[in-house]
Amino acid sequence: MRKWFSFPITEGKASRQAHCDIPEDTFERECGKEGFFGPATHMYHQHAPTGWTEWEGDLRPHAFDTNKVEDVGDNPLTAPLLLSNANVKVSIWRCDTAMEYLVRNGDGDECLFIHEGSGSLFCDYGHLRFRDGDYLILPRSTNWRIEPDSPVTMLMIEATHGSYMTADRGIVGDHAVFDPAVLEYAKIDDAFIAQQQEEQSWQVYLKSRNAMNRITYPFNPLDAVGWKGNLTVFRLNWRDIRPLMSHRYHLPPSAHTTFVANGFVICTFVPRPIESDPGALKVPFYHNNDDYDEVIFYHKGEFFSRDNIHPGMVTVHPCGFPHGPHPKAFAAGAKAAKKETDEVAVMIDTRMPLDLGDAAKQTELDDYVLSWRTPPRG
Ligand SMILES: [Fe+2]
């Protein structure tokens, strides 16, 4: 058995409630272990903890623009890699015509976040319509293909050797945040039956152990006439997420957890009212999330804690140093200028460090590390 050392101490000036009633002229920084679930200390600084003026070395905040990734190839399983470690692979793919082959990821469950476009997904389990803002969850080794109605851009998140599960809803129960009844699954409907008539030779691209196999069938493998069970392909749209919030306390990102996999979680930030209590912090608190790398993909809206970020961009804040709101956003938060957020973003928090793929490096904004610069306080 193991147990954290835990003995609450207060040194000097501090608030007795995290993220609220912060001592005047101070900046609060949370130093925390194990995401937002381990021991943590709230430290009150005289300067913004992101106020560095120079940074030498590779462990720095990154931002890159997936809109600038030009060649995405024609197979989702070889889409340009943005970020990866042993637990997760994140890539970006675009598709504007119907796939004429099937793909199958033997390396782990797949989460497709539809950034733009709509269409039909055909898979072993049947037919499922999708639109922008959907998460499509595909169990490992599912055969699938898409037929777009309009050009599709998707963020692909592979749970390498792992599975996507739901988060424990704790004291709010299973129907909060989203009711499991809002999930839609692939069905054996008329469209699925109609595509079975294409009795020609079909190829399946199977990725396994990160290598590609091409398997040819003299018939269409999507030929199921029925199935039963509790494993399937399903979709969840962010519009069906009803976020937890408190008008008196800035909840940590973990309150917005949507999927849990081995070594990482996916959280969804959706529009919500901003805290109204005069003493409550109105923007994300500065923090070292000391055991996790933190990735945010910006999908839609105005990103309330960041300056100069637009849809399709990604930020990566490796663990080891603090991050937090940009100066303009911090000042707006202090004035309580905004009453609600309209941003939609996908966050991926990984327990092990991430490596940047070529597509991320090639579209990186070099000066992002200095984007928190502020004039010194007088
Ligand atoms: Fe964070």
* 75-238 CATH pick, 2.60.120.10, 3.40.630.180, 3.40.50.300, 2.120.10.80: 2.60.120.10
User: Which ranges of 39-128 would DSSP assign to H, the alpha helix?
Assistant: none
Give the long-range contacts of residues 370-373, CB within 8 A, separation 24 or more. 370/52, 370/53, 370/55, 371/63, 371/307, 371/308, 371/326, 372/48, 372/50, 372/51, 372/52, 372/324, 372/326, 372/327, 373/51, 373/53, 373/327
Give residue 330's Cα distance to chain centre.
23
Annotated binding site: 287, 293, 323
- Distance (Å) from CA 254 to ligand 1 centroid: 10
Mean pLDDT in order along the chain per 10 residues (378 residues): 89 95 94 88 94 92 97 96 98 97 98 98 98 98 98 98 95 96 98 90 97 97 97 98 96 95 97 94 86 96 81 95 86 83 96 97 94 66
64 beta partners: 314, 364
Which candidate in 19, 250, 299, 326 is catalytic? 250
- Distance (Å) from CA 325 to ligand 1 centroid: 10
- Distance (Å) from CA 226 to ligand 1 centroid: 44
- Distance (Å) from CA 285 to ligand 1 centroid: 8
Taking the CA atoms of the chain, what radius of gyration do you get in angstroms?
Answer: 22
Q: State residue 375's pLDDT score.
A: 58
Cα-Cα-Cα-Cα dihedral sign, residues 353, 348, 368, 333: negative
- Distance (Å) from CA 323 to ligand 1 centroid: 6
Sequence spans of domains, the chain: 75-238
CB 252 within 8 A of CB 349: no
Q: State residue 378's pLDDT score.
A: 40
Annotated binding site for Fe cation: 287, 293, 323
Q: Calculate the CA dihedral of residues 167, 168, 173, 174 and round it to 10 degrees.
A: 40
265 beta partners: 260, 349
Q: Is 127 a catalytic residue?
A: no
